Structure 1
């Protein structure tokens, strides 16, 4: 499942800015370094699925919204089980 991606940098950055969430806030919520978080938002790297899920929670992005591009029901179920 490591190739699963719910990350949409532009959309998530818009949410981050609108809610006033800093890169430091995201780093603390995901347990990842500030430098790694900035690389995600500058498009230099893609966060792991685990980090994507934690970031969605930190940004208040509903699970259904975060999963909208994942259509495989087994994958959706696996991701839900991690979040809930």
Structure 2
């Protein structure tokens, strides 16, 4: 199965902290609860790909760089249609 995960908890948490973005701000951007976001960053859960994309936007993480890890052309096309 192809990798469709752009989530990197340690890196994204460092970016979140450096940019001063709170769990609440990420929750609002993703349309989910604060508790769900905290579980992602504590390693208890993994965000859906949709949430990963919304969170990347919230944290100003360049999605073109993150998308390099996804190799399935259909998944890449679907993601591009959402973010462009």
TM-score scaled by length of structure 1: 0.90
Count of matched residue pairs? 82
Aligned-partner Cα distance in 2 for 1:66–1:40: 18
Give structure 1 stretches of 5+ with no counterpart.
none
- Aligned twin of 1:13: 13
What root-mean-square deviation, in Å, do the aligned CA atoms of Structure 1 and Structure 2 show?
1.3
What TM-score results when the alignment is normalised by the length of structure 2? 0.90
User: Using the alignment, how far apart are the partners of 1:39 and 1:68 within structure 2?
Assistant: 26
Aligned counterparts of 2:10 and 2:68: Cα–Cα separation in 1: 16
- Select the structure with the greater relative contact order (CA < 8 A; seq sep ≥ 6): 2
| Runs of 4+ residues over 3 Å off in structure 1 | none
